[in-house]
């Protein structure tokens, strides 16, 4: 089969460049990527800083995503566009409250948002499932196939377009669903009576054990725990807990995480996106896909380091016993059909997700991808 060349490749061909140049640029960045971006900008007739966008992130100071990865992302987009796209980043709440980002991007109060899929479940219920379902997938490859090959990206873009928003790409966080608390939680039964910041089906699981579930943006969690408004939180991974300094106010940590790589998201106002020439649209998407994988790999490593930080802060680390983990797995199967709504997008999304999960589970459980570490 002959593959159609993308707009980027067609422009590169006119400039005497080839796909190997793209691969090399993606690996080394710098002048190679800048050279390709300059060729694209020249072909499109774009000027330096012609497209200026404001990006608000839901992760802020203290997070490597804010301190390192978002600046790298902005630089990569700038270079890939030959300097034509200039993005200015704003921390959580700087322009609008975090939970209002989708509305703000729709109205172009903010041009680009970096947030989490589950935040939009109120107006788009299917995002609760595209965000993640406990114990469904194991590794980032599974999520990447789900989004880019199985149709979940197309579905999400279709839904966001109804809000005048272009969904650029998912961003893979690392694990979600471990619990940090101000008093001991060591068993499922210990969740009874606790007030917990949680989301999605994970929150429904704790609610089934007698917990009260609260929705709250990440920038408010430290204060809520320190003042007793919350007893516990689900807030990303071990690294996510440490990045928010929750080890200072919550001295109990409970695993396992429920979701291997929950889906964050990057989206842009549709009018802003359509202002861009096709080659620059593709460059924006490509840069976001690279950012997604960097987010997953770097945060996974940082989560391993986070356990030493917890130990130094005097945090007690526990893991639910096997029978409680089996009960959570059973509860997912029981609660999921009760929570999936009947709207078209929810039904289509859960169908795609279940089909990919069922196919991946055809691999025998006793035939792992890699031999587990012993000792």
- How many CB atoms are located within 10 Å of the residue 106 CB? 17
The count of other CB atoms within 10 Å of the CB of residue 27 is 9
What's the pLDDT score for residue 372? 59
Kindly state whether residues 133 and 275 are assigned to the same domain: yes
As a whole number of angstroms, the distance between CA 90 and CA 286 comes to 22
Average pLDDT, the chain: 89
pLDDT of residue 29: 45
pLDDT of residue 291: 96
Sheet with strand 316-319: strands edge to edge: 212-214, 195-197, 232-233, 179-181, 252-255, 316-319
What's the CATH number where 29 sits?
3.40.190.170
Give pLDDT, residue 47: 79
Question: In this structure, what are the phi and psi dihedrals at residue 198, rounded to the nearest 5 degrees?
Answer: -150, 180
pLDDT value of residue 8:
45
Looking at the structure, do residues 297 and 333 belong to the same domain, yes or no?
no
Please report the pLDDT score of residue 1 as a whole number.
Answer: 37
Instruction: Judge if 276 and 140 occupy the same domain.
Output: yes
Range of the domain at 137: 9-174+262-301
DSSP string, 72-127: HHHHHHHHHTTT-EEEEEE-TTSSS-GGGHHHHHHHTSSSEEEEEGGGGTTT-TTH
Biggest CA–CA distance in the chain, Å, is 66
Q: pLDDT value at position 44?
A: 57
Q: Where are the beta strands (DSSP E) in 247-314?
A: 252-255, 263-269
CB contact set of 176 (below 8 Å; sequence gap of 6+): 132, 202, 234, 236, 237, 257, 258, 259, 262
Same domain assignment for residues 71 and 184: no
Structural domain includes residue 168: yes
Cα first-last separation, the chain: 48
Same domain, 269 and 228: no
State residue 30's pLDDT score: 44
DSSP state of 17: -
Q: Are residues 138 and 233 in the same domain?
A: no
- 8 Å CB contact between 15 and 39: yes
pLDDT score, position 11:
42
Is 3 contained in some domain? no
Residue 371 placed within a domain: no
Query: Is the same domain home to 287 and 210?
Result: no
In a domain, 111, yes or no: yes
Half-sphere CA count of 359, side-chain side, radius 13 A = 10
286 in Cβ contact with 168 (< 8 Å): no
For every one of its 375 residues, what pLDDT tens digit does the chain have, with 9 covering 90 and above? Answer: 333 444 444 444 444 444 344 444 444 444 455 555 655 555 556 678 799 999 999 999 989 999 999 999 999 999 999 899 999 999 999 999 999 999 999 999 999 999 999 999 999 999 999 999 999 999 999 999 999 999 999 999 999 999 999 999 999 998 999 999 999 999 999 999 999 999 889 999 999 999 999 999 999 999 999 999 999 999 989 999 999 999 999 999 999 999 999 999 999 999 999 999 998 999 999 999 999 999 999 999 999 999 999 999 999 999 999 999 999 999 999 999 999 999 999 999 999 999 999 999 998 877 866 655 655
């Amino acid at each position: 089969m002959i593959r159609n060349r993308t707009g980027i490749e067609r422009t590169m061909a006119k400039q005497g460049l080839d796909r190997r140049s793209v691969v090399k640029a993606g690996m080394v960045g710098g002048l190679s990527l800048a050279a390709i971006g300059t060729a694209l900008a020249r072909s499109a007739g774009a000027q330096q800083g012609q497209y200026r966008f404001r990006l608000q992130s839901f992760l802020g100071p203290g997070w490597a995503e804010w301190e390192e990865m978002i600046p790298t992302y902005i630089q990569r987009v700038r270079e890939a566009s030959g300097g034509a796209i200039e993005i200015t980043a704003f921390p959580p709440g700087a322009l609008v409250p975090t939970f209002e980002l989708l509305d703000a991007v729709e109205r172009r109060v903010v041009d680009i948002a970096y947030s989490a899929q589950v935040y939009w479940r109120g107006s788009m219920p299917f995002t609760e499932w595209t965000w993640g379902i406990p114990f469904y997938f194991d590794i980032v490859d599974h999520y990447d196939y789900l989004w880019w090959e199985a149709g979940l990206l197309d579905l999400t873009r279709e839904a966001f377009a109804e809000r005048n928003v272009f969904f650029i790409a998912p961003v893979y966080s690392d694990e979600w669903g471990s619990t940090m608390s101000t008093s001991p939680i060591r068993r499922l039964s210990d969740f009874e009576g606790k007030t917990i910041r949680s989301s999605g089906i994970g929150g429904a699981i704790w609610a089934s054990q007698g917990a009260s579930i609260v929705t709250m943006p990440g920038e408010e969690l430290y204060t809520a725990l320190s003042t007793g408004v919350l007893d516990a939180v689900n807030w990303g991974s071990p690294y996510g807990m440490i990045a928010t300094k929750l080890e200072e106010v919550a001295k109990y940590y409970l695993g396992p995480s429920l979701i291997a790589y929950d889906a964050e998201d990057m989206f842009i106002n549709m009018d802003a996106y359509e202002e861009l020439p096709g080659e620059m649209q593709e460059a924006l998407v490509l840069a976001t896909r690279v950012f997604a994988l960097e987010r997953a790999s770097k945060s996974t490593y940082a989560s391993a380091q986070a356990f030493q930080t917890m130990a130094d802060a005097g945090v007690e680390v526990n893991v639910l016993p096997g029978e409680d983990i089996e009960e959570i797995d059973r509860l997912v199967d029981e609660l999921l059909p009760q929570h999936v709504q009947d709207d078209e997008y929810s039904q289509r999304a859960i169908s795609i997700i279940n089909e990919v999960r069922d196919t991946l589970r055809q691999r025998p459980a006793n035939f792992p991808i890699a031999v587990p570490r012993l000792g």
